[in-house]
Amino acid sequence: MALPTKSQLTPARMMSELVEPFAVRSPLTSEAHSVRFSHLWVAIATRHSDTIDCKFLVNGRGVVVALAHLGFVAYSQRTGRHLSDTEAAQLAAAYLRSCLEDDRLGSRTTLYVPPEEVVAWAERLGLLSPR
């Protein structure tokens, strides 16, 4: 799986541009998925969950990748900086891509990413160095 590097994470002009649309084909089922990023929001107020939610359209169906807020705290403590919206959206996209490639989405509409996985995905994307 080709993940974007830190230098490829460019600022977007509109929220929907935080992640370029991408396609994924599951090697297990050969099912093709067309994915488009919609938006992100802090779900503490809207869903009463301690997450940053990133919404994607997967073949037109809404899927939320819920990134645990405590993962953002752990990231900040480790690096001395905060994850940007662009970085959070890219991290959520990489997680969603892996779920689609491994055929782990199924009929779920929400994927929860626990705190330790938020930091692990940030590391995979090369985001752990301080700015």
Radius of gyration of the chain (CA): 14
In a domain, 32, yes or no: no
C-alpha distance from residue 83 to each of 4, 73, 79, 86 (Å): 15, 9, 10, 8
For residue 60, the enclosing domain spans 43-131
State how many domains the chain has: 1
User: What per-residue confidence (pLDDT) applies to 73?
Assistant: 95
Q: What is the mean pLDDT of the chain?
A: 88
Q: Are 80 and 65 in contact (CB under 8 A)?
A: no
DSSP, residue by residue, 68-82: EHHHHHHHHHHHSSP
CA 78 to chain centre: 19
Query: Which two three-digit tokens encode residue 102?
Result: 């491994």
Residue 51 lies in a domain: yes
Q: Give per-residue pLDDT as tens, 11-58.
A: 556 777 789 999 999 888 888 999 999 999 887 766 667 999 999 999
Is residue 31 within 8 Å of residue 8, measured between CB atoms? no
- Within a domain: residue 47? yes
Evaluate if residue 10 carries a pLDDT over 80: no
- Residue 9: which pLDDT band, with cuts at 50, 70 and 90? low
Could you tell me if residue 99 is inside a domain?
Answer: yes
72, 52 contact by CB (below 8 A) = yes
HSE of 57 in the Cβ direction (CA atoms, 13 Å)? 9
Distance of CA 90 to the CA centre of its chain: 5
| pLDDT of 108 over the 70 cut | yes
Q: For residues 73-89, give the mean pLDDT.
A: 94
Higher pLDDT, residue 71 or 13: 71
